[in-house]
């Protein structure tokens, strides 16, 4: 295979996310727009629910939570999953209030969200990331996107368990949380 690429924004299929069933859904803090690329939160990114500072950000002591917002598509004849990301420009005063889902060991979801994209028509290639079965990932704490896990990474590890296809036909992978 080759480096994974996608057209449009990241997508998520929540195959088995215990946080949804258990009600571990967080959606009351605004995103800290100073830390997210172009004031955009894509499905499949990770962020922290930092109650101490009253913001969703990439810092703080909280656990990593999956960004999985309710998609706002107004004409499904022309809009697909790749066309949705939460954008500050769509909100009054750029205030985004994302929905974050807690995950547990054993949770499974399908995604193609590797590397930032700022347009639903642009193509992004995540250089150096070829998520073949067995590849392990963790969160890049500077971007909120998944990165290949190193030897020293021992917590919040996701493993590729199946090479898959997203609903629109783009390449994706099924990930399972193993640590």
Question: Rounded to two decimals, what is the model's pTM?
Answer: 0.94
Mean pLDDT of the chain: 93
Check: CB of residue 61 under 8 Å from CB of residue 99. no
What is the rounded average pLDDT of the residues 82-92? 89
Whether 76 has a pLDDT exceeding 90, the answer reads no
């Amino acid at each position: 295979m080759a480096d994974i690429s996608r057209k449009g924004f990241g997508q998520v299929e929540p195959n088995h996310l215990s946080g949804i069933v258990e009600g571990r859904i967080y959606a009351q803090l605004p995103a800290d727009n100073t830390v997210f690329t172009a004031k955009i939160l894509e499905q499949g990114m990770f962020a922290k629910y930092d109650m101490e500072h009253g913001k969703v950000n990439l810092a703080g002591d909280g656990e990593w939570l999956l960004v999985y917002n309710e998609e706002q598509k107004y004409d499904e004849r022309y809009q697909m999953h790749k066309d949705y990301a939460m954008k500050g420009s769509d909100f009054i005063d750029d205030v985004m209030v994302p929905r974050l889902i807690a995950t547990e060991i054993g949770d499974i979801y399908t995604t193609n969200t590797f590397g930032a994209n700022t347009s639903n028509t642009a193509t992004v290639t995540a250089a150096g990331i070829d998520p073949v079965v067995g590849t392990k990932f963790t969160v890049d704490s500077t971007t909120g996107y998944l990165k290949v896990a190193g030897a020293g990474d021992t917590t919040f590890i996701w493993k590729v368990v199946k090479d898959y296809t997203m609903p629109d036909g783009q390449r994706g992978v099924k990930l399972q949380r193993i640590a």
